Structure 1
């Protein structure tokens, strides 16, 4: 069988081939609708490229690449203000401000590409890297010099297979794990989850629910999201800027575009206290998985009402009720997510710097500057 593959780069969702979604069926985050959302509302320092892989004239693979200009950020995150963090930020601005991703830096998980079963993995990976390098050349013609080439996220199985290709020489890295909650088939409601908890964590659940008295949870429509857009962004930005590191900030219209295009596949829940919106979380239905997305909250009320923990319990309750098999809680807040039953899944990435000297020392730089997260894995179940 002739496995010779070619690729085409698209810069608008409208230009994608007709059968795009047939190939992208494994995840909503590679489908035409989601790419249209990115096109309309991606972060101001991001440019998206959509990759089609062809065998002769048949579409057999799809992928996403993103270019980030970190010079356009006013902040990489304000939580950690130590000397090491300030040095890291300076070096990023000076030597690694232009980053080209194969994959989606806005998500955690295997959302970079999808290949038809007929495509050998090694051949598919090879053409994906060729496509990414072509985008690098396109950027050069626009006077933009890419510093850092990054590919994410790969499972342990994928990384093992990549290690058998010529790309094994590229620096492989891991960061915080993807926290995934698996829902047993016999659970039908929230009480089944509560009953499965050990006494310590059942008490935690009861305490959090008690603290949440006075909060009103409400599913917001597109009109509601648009009406509260400024406040929603303020709540999101408060959480985002206090992260240990940020490479982008969402645009203000991102949530409204998600709701406009994905409709019932995008859920936006607002939390109100004394008739004022004080927090929100978002969910995206992705086949049999429920993907948690961005959230925001008022820090003072969050602490007082244990809002974040209650949001996690609400996500679990909804996903059980709607018969989802897994909940993807992504990175960050690892210990609290572990305490409600999520398990860590190690994911991998590849990284190379265009400067050969920096690239040689890249593993050392990464280990030194990567924010360390010390956490203890919990098992809340009996």
Structure 2
């Protein structure tokens, strides 16, 4: 690594260098207002670190790291009630409960770091590893042993480059792909999008649209979010708890804090039945990219009204209307997301276990613990 490079690890947003947001201008998830959301309302089992990379004395890169204490977790996910899940939970509690993520474990996509100048992958891998070692030592001084260090998420070309350098000995894993919908230039209205669908998927759209009749859909303002905070959290928590796998639960004030900090760049849309909130979805406006965030719903209403599918259509409609270039739908529910046109993008992560004997067999252990995923990709466009 160039000896002119150095880094500083910060534990609070208020002391970040004043050029931080200029360096992070390409990615909302690394800007100080979003980092303030994490600081004020991170999951209770998470601690965040903000990394500044300097060339001489000039800030040229910013990065995020997150420590997770899985011992504080109420559940790792309750959807798959089986022996394998019980084994997985035991292993995580005893051999993988202290995890350091170099990157953002709360969202999907390459949001771990950004540089204001072109950097070679050897330097990037070295900086990542040096920062991970420094944070690991920080916890060691507090008598906390980090079990697993994970570097997430990388697109295939970046992952293959990083493997040539410091990441080479680490276990590379591909969990569920990131579902991304590239919006066509000729989609100026929602009708253009519907017109691009084959008959089968136009019929799906019409059926979903008809099912949601009787539901009032509206964007929520800050005062409404504050008033509905408990109900929003209840709906979010139901969905999160029934996910196949979880490493955190959001704090109750997370969505309110997010709206306060990011204002019009963070949108919460509420779904009401007989004036009662029965679902919501959230989106973040990240330059030309629409990032989907967390959502929640009442299971009974979701089944009757095809609520989740309608949320996906509504996000797509919003993106077209506001001329975004693509929508990041994230992981999970791959098949239904592909039915509205999202394509799977493979993303890699790298990890190693600090215990050298466990690390030796990490590939076998990881493959056996990862929730199984079978799905059929849909092709809805003509």
1:335 match: 335
2:133 match: 133
Q: How many equivalent residue pairs?
A: 382
Structure 2 residue matching 1:167: 3-state secondary structure: coil
1:45 match: 45
Structure 1 residue matching 2:225: 3-state secondary structure: helix
Structure 2 residue matching 1:380: 3-state secondary structure: coil
2:152 match: 152
Inter-partner Cα distance in structure 2 for 1:104 and 1:314: 26
Inter-partner Cα distance in structure 1 for 2:86 and 2:12: 37
* 4+ aligned runs moved over 6 Å, structure 1: none
1:246 match: 246
State whether residues 60 and 119 of structure 1, in contact with CA within 8 Å, keep that contact through their aligned partners in structure 2. Answer: no
State whether residues 148 and 351 of structure 1, in contact with CA within 8 Å, keep that contact through their aligned partners in structure 2. Answer: yes
Structure 1 residue matching 2:290: 3-state secondary structure: strand
1:112 match: 112
State whether residues 267 and 284 of structure 2, in contact with CA within 8 Å, keep that contact through their aligned partners in structure 1. Answer: yes
2:10 match: 10
Inter-partner Cα distance in structure 2 for 1:122 and 1:32: 27
TM-score by length of 2: 0.99
The alpha-carbon deviation at position 116 of structure 1 amounts to 2.6
Structure 1 residue matching 2:75: 3-state secondary structure: coil
Correspondence list, 1:1-382, <5 A? 4-382=4-382
State whether residues 215 and 273 of structure 1, in contact with CA within 8 Å, keep that contact through their aligned partners in structure 2. Answer: yes
The alpha-carbon deviation at position 85 of structure 1 amounts to 0.7
1:133-191 deviation digits (Å, cap 9, x = unpaired): 10111111112111011010011011111121132111000000000000011111111
Distance change in 2, residues 1:256/1:209 (3 Å): same
Inter-partner Cα distance in structure 1 for 2:283 and 2:166: 38
Q: Which moved more, 1:29-38 or 1:160-169?
A: 160-169
State whether residues 3 and 123 of structure 1, in contact with CA within 8 Å, keep that contact through their aligned partners in structure 2. Answer: no
Inter-partner Cα distance in structure 2 for 1:227 and 1:166: 49
Inter-partner Cα distance in structure 1 for 2:22 and 2:198: 43
State whether residues 180 and 328 of structure 1, in contact with CA within 8 Å, keep that contact through their aligned partners in structure 2. Answer: yes
Structure 2 residue matching 1:99: 3-state secondary structure: strand
Structure 1 residue matching 2:372: 3-state secondary structure: coil
Structure 2 residue matching 1:166: 3-state secondary structure: coil
TM-score by length of 1: 0.99
The alpha-carbon deviation at position 119 of structure 1 amounts to 3.0
Inter-partner Cα distance in structure 2 for 1:147 and 1:73: 16
Aligned-residue CA RMSD (Å) = 1.0
Give structure 2 stretches of 5+ with no counterpart: none
Inter-partner Cα distance in structure 1 for 2:297 and 2:160: 40
Inter-partner Cα distance in structure 1 for 2:3 and 2:24: 20
Inter-partner Cα distance in structure 2 for 1:158 and 1:3: 23
State whether residues 3 and 119 of structure 1, in contact with CA within 8 Å, keep that contact through their aligned partners in structure 2. Answer: no
Give structure 1 stretches of 5+ with no counterpart: none
Inter-partner Cα distance in structure 2 for 1:148 and 1:163: 18
The alpha-carbon deviation at position 120 of structure 1 amounts to 2.5
Structure 2 residue matching 1:364: 3-state secondary structure: helix
The alpha-carbon deviation at position 269 of structure 1 amounts to 0.3
Inter-partner Cα distance in structure 1 for 2:278 and 2:99: 34
Inter-partner Cα distance in structure 2 for 1:196 and 1:25: 34
Distance change in 2, residues 1:240/1:333 (3 Å): same
Structure 1 residue matching 2:328: 3-state secondary structure: strand
Inter-partner Cα distance in structure 2 for 1:4 and 1:316: 45
Inter-partner Cα distance in structure 1 for 2:143 and 2:35: 25
